[in-house]
Amino acid sequence: MRPQATCPGSVRIGVVLAGGESRRMGCDKRGLRVGGATLLQRNLAFLGELFPVVGISVRDPRQAPDDLPEDVIVIPDEVAGSPLGGLAAILARFGEPIFALAADLVDPQSEAVGRVLAACGDADVALPVVGDHLEPLHAVYGPACLPHMRRLLAAGAHSILDLLPLVRVARVRFADGSPFFNVNTPADWAEARRRLGDASREAGVSADPCPRTGTDARPGQDANAPVVLGVVGRSGSGKTTLIERLIPELTARGLRVGAVKRVARLDIDVPGKDSWRHSLTGADAYAVGSPGKVAFVARQQSEASLGEIVTRYFDGYDVVVCEGYRREAPNVVEVFRSGAGHETTVCGPAEQLALVTDADLAHPQRFGLEDAPALAQFLVERLRLTADRRTPDDAIS
């Protein structure tokens, strides 16, 4: 039997995906302005010219802007902050094929959208491919994707790329990636201004997307806050090994380094020890101190965000290196090892500050698996890491 066509006619619905937290930009990038309008306003208007129904996907209804046009439908994510959760909520809301567009695209083009729509046919997903890079946030998704999305989300998988092996995919080849250029960092915004050329000044494009105080402040960050770096990658790629090599390189440069590891279950005490017995009394928090170390354990009703952990426990540090936290870390380095059995990276090139790999993958900041010294030097320069921001009291933890 021939599979049911995902796109039997025209796709009626276009949705802007606007549920991200803009952590790498340091301010809400949906509000970046070009020509008197924000990126979000421009992209909603762009979809309004192509589709009779327009929606906006957000983490929470409160994230929707106050000046949203009345006819734009607001769809909260099924899983907050996850693009896959956003797409699942959209398909559950409409029950028919939709076209999804990232809120931070700088210059979307109707011709590119038309090519993707035309390729949909019997596929469950139709998306552009530039070189070896997929563009899942400029794509058509059909309702047959929804059960797979929900199973992935229930298993803790949040990457759209995890969906693609499970469904029928139409890949539309593009020689030029300009229609899909989006902004994640201040450097991306500078590139957007360069691409707009001389028209950028006339169009009202701000040179600094996130105005800040302090001449030494890093882009999008409090000058006194630690830099937060996430080391991410698929299972078996060598995240912990890279961290073991990277941290000594950073400390050798005089930096005070913290580390965070995300785990499914935390139980660090030893049964039978006095501190373990203290923990059984019902205390909401307890600490164990020694001349060289101190550990503080607190019970909580919900998982603390990475930002909450860094703010509470790493004041006075220069950099905090995290294993995981891809969706929360403002700066991300991905590890991809060819022998780990995976075909694709977990992040796209635009998400990666650097790529550490032994595979033949293109990236402007590519380092070998053994090249921790060069990676550390790049991070020090790119993230403006210095040890001179700490006062003498900061050394007391």
Are 48 and 152 part of one and the same domain? yes
Residue 394 is given by DSSP the state: G
Are 18 and 124 part of one and the same domain? yes
DSSP 16-53: EE-----TTTSS-GGG-EETTEEHHHHHHHHHHHH-SE
Domain final residue, candidates 148, 163, 180? 180
What pLDDT is attached to residue 269? 67
Smallest Cα–Cα separation from 390: which of 241, 234, 239, 256?
A: 256
Are 23 and 154 part of one and the same domain? yes
Domain that holds residue 350: 227-266+305-395
| Cα dist from 114 to 105, 143, 209, 297, 307, whole Å | 16, 20, 31, 55, 40
Domain final residue, candidates 180, 214, 237? 180
Judge contact between 51 and 15, C-beta under 8 A: no
Within a domain: residue 2? Answer: no
Are 71 and 147 part of one and the same domain? yes
Are 252 and 388 part of one and the same domain? yes
Within a domain: residue 245? Answer: yes
What pLDDT is attached to residue 25? 64
Within a domain: residue 213? Answer: no
Within a domain: residue 295? Answer: no
What pLDDT is attached to residue 6? 56
Q: How far out from the chain centre does Cα 185 lie? A: 11
Judge contact between 222 and 376, C-beta under 8 A: no
What pLDDT is attached to residue 155? 84
Under 8 Å CB-to-CB from 122, ≥6 apart: which residues? Answer: 2, 3, 4, 5, 6, 168
CATH number of the CATH domain containing 346: 3.40.50.300
Under 8 Å CB-to-CB from 285, ≥6 apart: which residues? Answer: 296, 297, 298, 299
Are 129 and 249 part of one and the same domain? no
| Cα dist from 38 to 45, 154, 213, 214, 386, whole Å | 11, 34, 23, 26, 34
Are 235 and 174 part of one and the same domain? no
Residue with tokens 């909450």: 308
209: number of Cβ within 10 Å: 25
Whole-structure pTM value:
0.56
Question: How does 119-150 read in b/e, with b if 16+ C-beta sit within 10 Å?
Answer: bbeebbbbbbebeebbbbbbbbbbbbbbebbb
Smallest Cα–Cα separation from 87: which of 117, 125, 50?
A: 125
Judge contact between 297 and 268, C-beta under 8 A: yes
What pLDDT is attached to residue 366? 92
Cα separation of 370 and 27, whole Å? Answer: 34
C-alpha radius of gyration, the chain, whole number: 23
Q: How far out from the chain centre does Cα 102 lie? A: 12
Cα separation of 289 and 278, whole Å? Answer: 13
Are 164 and 38 part of one and the same domain? yes
Are 247 and 347 part of one and the same domain? yes
pLDDT tens, the chain, 397 aa long: 344 555 656 799 999 998 766 565 666 676 677 666 788 888 999 999 999 999 999 877 776 777 788 889 999 887 776 788 899 999 999 999 999 999 888 889 999 999 999 998 889 999 999 987 889 999 999 999 999 999 998 887 888 888 999 999 999 999 988 899 888 777 777 777 777 764 444 444 555 556 543 333 344 445 568 889 999 998 889 999 999 999 999 999 999 999 998 776 666 667 777 766 776 777 778 787 888 888 887 777 667 778 888 888 898 899 999 997 777 788 889 999 998 888 888 887 777 889 999 998 888 889 999 999 999 999 998 888 876 544 434 433 3
Smallest Cα–Cα separation from 303: which of 327, 335, 269, 274?
A: 327
* Number of structural domains found in the chain: 2
Within a domain: residue 208? Answer: no
Are 389 and 311 part of one and the same domain? yes
What pLDDT is attached to residue 368? 93
Within a domain: residue 386? Answer: yes
What pLDDT is attached to residue 356? 94
Within a domain: residue 210? Answer: no
Looking at the DSSP bridge assignments, the partners of residue 74 are: 56
| Amino acid letter, 377 | Q
CATH number of the CATH domain containing 42: 3.90.550.10
Are 142 and 257 part of one and the same domain? no
Judge contact between 337 and 357, C-beta under 8 A: yes
Within a domain: residue 7? Answer: no
- SS3 labels along 334-353: EEECHHHCCCCCCCCCCCCC
Are 157 and 254 part of one and the same domain? no
